[in-house]
Amino acid sequence: MRSETTSDAPGTGPLAGRTALVTGGARGIGRAVVERFTADGAAVAFSYHHSAERAKELAAGLLASGVRAHALHADLSRLADVRLLFDQAEELLGGIDILVNNAGETLVASIKETSEEDYDRLMAVNAKATFFAIQEAARRLRRGGRVINISSANTRMRVPSVAVYAASKAAVEQFTLVASRELATRKITVNAVSPGPTDTDMLRASQSRQALDMAAAMTPLRRLGEAADTADVIAFLAGPDARWITGQNIVVAGGLA
């Protein structure tokens, strides 16, 4: 893993004095979370896999703002990388208070068209990586910490051609429920957030313009979600006002699901 590091200026805000590890933080919802957490005063480490240029650009922007963050390369489908990511984040941040399991991949393919390779890759990144990151959090997060797992409104919507993606996110929701009980002895809350269609690079790469327009039209609030819509909810769950919320799944979908 390689680290792109910003300055160590102390933060102010509701997350001042707290540290966070965000997986998949170089773009999309993860990037919005990194930006929101640092704006709220947290010191942040975030992982990236393919998006090295974007990760470095984000780190440079945070450095210019005088906040503390670290970009770490990791392939979270590999258990060794999950553990090494935590090792490095702990060393750089001096401990971890908040984990956001955001890294994930999507797949749009019918059941009859889905290959074993596609299935294994999606389950490795979306489900296996999240499970073992929660395991590391159970061992390493400081007392009173937060775990926030990103699921998807697709677990509720029965959309054709997303069976494996929805199943991988359904696993995340079950991990959340059980972990909320197991980590409660250390006053660590564990919650999930399920975004609906959100205007990110990943969504645009997997859907046609017509499909995006249809999703916006079907949403009661008449637009696609923005990354900041979900990041704001995640920031709430990470902050002091969510101290009495655990084992929940908050749907952020503009009323669609």
- The answer to whether 211 and 125 are in contact (CB under 8 A) is no
* 25 membership: H or E segment, kind and range: none
Our CA angle for 163, 125, 185, nearest 5°, is 105
The question of whether 165 is a catalytic residue gets the answer yes
Amino acid, single-letter form, for residue 36: R
Rounded (10°) angle between helices 129-140 and 163-182: 10
| Phi, psi (degrees; rounded to nearest 5) at 131 | -60, -50
Q: Which of 48, 86, 131, 165 is catalytic?
A: 165
User: Closest Cα to residue 184, out of 230, 140, 143?
Assistant: 143
C-alpha distances out from residue 8 to 33, 72, 222, Å: 19, 16, 41
Distance CA 202, CA 27 (A): 9
Catalytic positions are 165
